[in-house]
Structure formats: C-alpha cells, structure tokens
Structure 1
Amino acid sequence: MAADWKCAVNQVTNCVQPETFVVKMDDSETDHREEPGAAQYGNFRNYYTFHPPEARTSLLPPGLLLELLEKHGGEQEALLALDVGCNTGELSIALYNHLLQPEGCSEPLKYVHFMCCDIDPDLITRAQIANPYTDAITFSTLDITDVSSLGTLCNFLERFGRSSFHIGFCMSITMWIHLNHGDNGLTDFLNRLKTLCDYLLIEPQPWKCYRSAARRLRKLGRQDFDHFHTLSIRGDMEKEITEIMTKDGSSELIHRFGTTSWDRSLLLFKIRRPTELSV
C-alpha cells in the first residue's frame, strides 16, 4: 500500500480534485461528546486543556527546524507542512508561528503553508472557525489511513508545484493508529508519511498510554480496541517507532527533543529518498 502512495505522489500533476473524507461512526462511537474518555480515535474535545501547545514548541530550539528546511528547499520556495491528527488546531497554529518567525529572527517568513487534518469533522469545524490564518493554514476532515485521502493532499501539493511536504507533524497520533489498525496499520501509516514528507517530527505515546486507553474503554462499558491484545509491536514504543522509521535506511533520526510534562519525547527524522539511498 505504501508503494501505491509513493507512485501517486510522483504523479502529483494528475491528482484528482479534493474531496472531504469522513470516517462514519455509529452512535456508540460518538459517546466521547459526553464522555471524553471514550474517544476511540483520540479525538478528545478539550485535548489542549491538558496538553498545551507550548509544552511541545518550547522543546524545539529556536530556528532549528527552519534552518533544516531552508537548506532542503529553495530560498523563495513556499515552506509546506502537514499536521496529522490536528484536533481543534491549537498546536497547528503554534507550530505555524514557530516556523513563521522563530525567536531571534527579526523578519517573518513570507511563505509558510500548513495542511492540517483530523478524522473528526466536529473538531475540524471548530479549528476552521478559530483559524486566524485562513490564507496559510488549511483544516480538512480526512482519514489519512485511507489511501483515497491522497486526493486532498495531492491537490494541496500541486498548488505549490511540489510532490512532498517539507515537514510532517505526527503528535501523539501513533498509538491511535496502532490500536485501531494493528501492527501493519502502524507500519503502513509511517511508511506513507515517509513518501509524503522530507522531515517528520513524531511524538510517540509510551506503552503505558496504550494500557490506559484500553482501560478507559472497558471502564465505560465500551468494546475494547480490536487489536490491543494481538499487537506484537509493544514495549518501548519510542524505540519501536524509530526502528520502523529507519528500517533499510529509509530515514535517520537526527534529533531527539527533551521530554514533555506528560513524559513524551519529540523525534525528528530526515527521510532519505531513493537517489540518496543509492549513493
């Protein structure tokens, strides 16, 4: 499946027009409107009340991401970012501001554009309403685990004449992909992001969070995650995700940024393209 994405991205000029992709949920899956602990896909309504954006951005050295990305792209090229699982958008906006004008830089960048997506249409609606940068940040409802979502992403890239984003943000999303789609789903997800992004900043959830998420569902009388008891990728999830990312030299871990107050690190990977692998 990852190969299909890579092929499609390489043919970006033939992209279809964008659509909105929504994963339909039955009534039992929307209980998180009243019970936040029952958010099966991590789509908590008040997520940033407990995980403020500045707790992540404060770990990123001023100007480091911008320096890396500017070396990778052209000076006048628009800097493109993909934020997967953006929830209501507060962190997306904080990351946008972090890239737009890092601390110590007197002049802001002129060309920074974000594509931000989430599986929950209600969260995306809230993000769209509160978006202060409508010309630079796009919020879209889509399920990135569904290959058909490539239409929206491909169309966005086509606007700027690119086949990949300069950087992708995957902040506390990997666990929800893993629990709902299994080991293969997690691996496919990360491999797809490699085809779409030149750099990836990933915040993996530790294994204790998996146990807590499953326990919350059981406490609420909900059906357990389909894959929780059959996962073979488990334990040190930071190590496991790093191994998936760096397998066969497809990317390298170039920075590990601190630890948040909720005990998670930010891992920055540089993706290596086939031309680089053959050198």
Structure 2
Amino acid sequence: METHVPHVNKEENEDPGAAPYGNFINYYTFNPPENRLSLIPETLLEDIELGSERGLILDVGCNSGDLSVALYKHLLHEEASGSDFSKREVYLLGFDMDQDLILRAQNSNPFPQNIQFVPLDITDDPGSRTVLESYLGGFGCPRFHLCTCFAVTMWVHLNHGDAAFLSLLSRLASLCEFLLLEAQPWKCYRSAARRLRKLGRSDFDHFKTLEIRGDTAAHAREHLEKQCSMDLVQSFGNTTWDRSLLLFKRR
C-alpha cells in the first residue's frame, strides 16, 4: 500500500524536535521505552483477561519499533521467565507513516514470527482500514484485544485539526477491546509549534484555530466515553514527561 511519507531532511535527523509529524529519527534516545514501561504492569494481559489465549496487540505510531518490542517482552515476561515466544499466542502489529522508520523496525525485529511492522498512515482511512481489517481477518478476529497509542494524538491534531483528532479516537475505539492511550498535554503543542518557528518554518496549519485545547487527555476521555462506548478503567499515572497513561475498555 502506498502512504504519504513526509520528507525527513538532515536537520530533522539532528534536531529531535524538528519532525512535524512526530517521526523523530532517534526518538528513543531521549524518551527511552522505560519511561512508559515503568508504569505499565507486567500483568496487563492477564488483567484484561487474555491469559494464555491468543491475543492481538496494535501499536499505533510505532516509530522504529523499540517501544513495541520492549512492551511485548514486558507483557510476556520474557526476561523473567525465559518463555519461548514461538509458543505464545500473542501477536503485535506496529505501524508508522514513515517508511524509513518502519524499515529500521523490520531490520531490528527480534521476533518476526510474532511481531510485524508495516508502513501505514492512520489518517488515510480507506487505506489503513483495508490493511488492518485484512490483518485481523487472518486471525479470524473482529478487533484487536489491545491497542496502544503513545504520543500520537498531538501530531494528528496539529496537522489535521479538531475533527481529525476526534476521528482518530473514534477509529482507535472501533479497532480494539482495550485502548492504552497517552495523549500529549497542551504544553507539548506549544513546544512543538515553538520549535517549528525556531527553525524558520511555517506554523502548523491548524495550531492557531484549534478549539480543543487545554487538558487534551480530558477531552479524549470525554469523547471516548460519550461517543465511542468506552470507559476509563485505570490510570497508570504520569510518565517522566508528565503525560498520563489511560486504559479504556469497550463497553
């Protein structure tokens, strides 16, 4: 499938804040996986009643896959038990709009039988829907058991506006039984816009006209609960970057 991939130039390689779509080249050097994993219980799959049965995980905006793989190992207790991943019926699909990042994820994937990475743009509704429904169909499942969306909402919001922000949340809710969401707070929006201006670029198309402002996590929760038939079941606290990790469940 073809998907729009924004050009990443030398400047964006060197400045971790310069990627206008959040497709930072060395993202995990300044926000390592441990910042999130320290808050997520290793028993999460058991807690959402996956246990030993087959489960599907979707990681939205996976970047180079470092967090996807670390989360997979974390949830399957690989380091503690030395379990054989080939015998576990848990599979993860990660996607990102940047094909270069996906290539890095594919090349460094230690569990290709259980983890797949594909280039995909979540805002391309017809195209991404086809790919995700095809993946689910291969397992005979109507939706993913768990969807993770770490630090993606702001980039969709800034580049595509309020309607796209809400549409993203609705789309994620339709894809999964449980949604683990990290929405960037408003101060991150201001910082992203400031970095872009500092580089002499035009501001984000929608930044000044956004009506959804302030506590973006609260806005996301309200939409998921009122419009998407999901309930907040647990907050895992805030990351070192002061972003809340919220777990929602389909009613």
Q: How far off is 1:57 after superposition?
A: 1.1
Q: How far off is 1:100 after superposition?
A: 1.7
Q: Which runs of 5+ in 1 are unaligned?
A: 1-19, 273-279
Separation in structure 2 between the aligned mates of residue 151 and residue 240 of structure 1, nearest angstrom: 28
Aligned twin of 2:57: 81
Could you tell me whether the CA contact under 8 Å between 1:21 and 1:149 is conserved in 2?
no
Could you tell me whether the CA contact under 8 Å between 1:117 and 1:139 is conserved in 2?
yes
Could you tell me whether the CA contact under 8 Å between 1:62 and 1:104 is conserved in 2?
no
Of the three residues 13, 16, 19, the one matched with 1:33 is 13
Deviates more, 1:29-38 or 1:54-63: 29-38
TM-score, with structure 1 as normaliser: 0.83
Aligned twin of 1:218: 197
Q: Which amino acid aligns with 1:63?
A: T
Aligned twin of 1:4: none
User: For the structure 1 residues 92 and 222, does the alpha-carbon distance in structure 2 shift closer, same or farther, using more than 3 Å as the test?
Assistant: same
Q: Which runs of 5+ in 2 are unaligned?
A: none
User: For the structure 1 residues 219 and 137, does the alpha-carbon distance in structure 2 shift closer, same or farther, using more than 3 Å as the test?
Assistant: same
Aligned twin of 1:14: none
Q: How far off is 1:60 after superposition?
A: 1.4
Task: Tell me the matched-pair count.
Answer: 248
TM-score, with structure 2 as normaliser: 0.92
Aligned twin of 1:276: none
Separation in structure 1 between the aligned mates of residue 129 and residue 249 of structure 2, nearest angstrom: 22
Name the SS for the 2:48 alignment partner. Answer: helix
Could you tell me whether the CA contact under 8 Å between 2:44 and 2:75 is conserved in 1?
no
User: For the structure 1 residues 251 and 138, does the alpha-carbon distance in structure 2 shift closer, same or farther, using more than 3 Å as the test?
Assistant: same
Q: How far off is 1:245 after superposition?
A: 1.0
Q: How far off is 1:37 after superposition?
A: 2.4
Aligned twin of 1:172: 151
Q: Which amino acid aligns with 1:216?
A: R
Deviates more, 1:154-163 or 1:79-88: 154-163
- Superposition pairs for residues 127-166 of structure 1, below 5 Å? 127-147=105-125, 148-166=127-145
Could you tell me whether the CA contact under 8 Å between 2:43 and 2:75 is conserved in 1?
yes
Aligned twin of 1:113: 91
By relative contact order (CA 8 Å, sep 6+), the higher-ranking structure is 1
Separation in structure 2 between the aligned mates of residue 59 and residue 211 of structure 1, nearest angstrom: 26
User: For the structure 1 residues 79 and 207, does the alpha-carbon distance in structure 2 shift closer, same or farther, using more than 3 Å as the test?
Assistant: same
Q: Which amino acid aligns with 1:177?
A: V
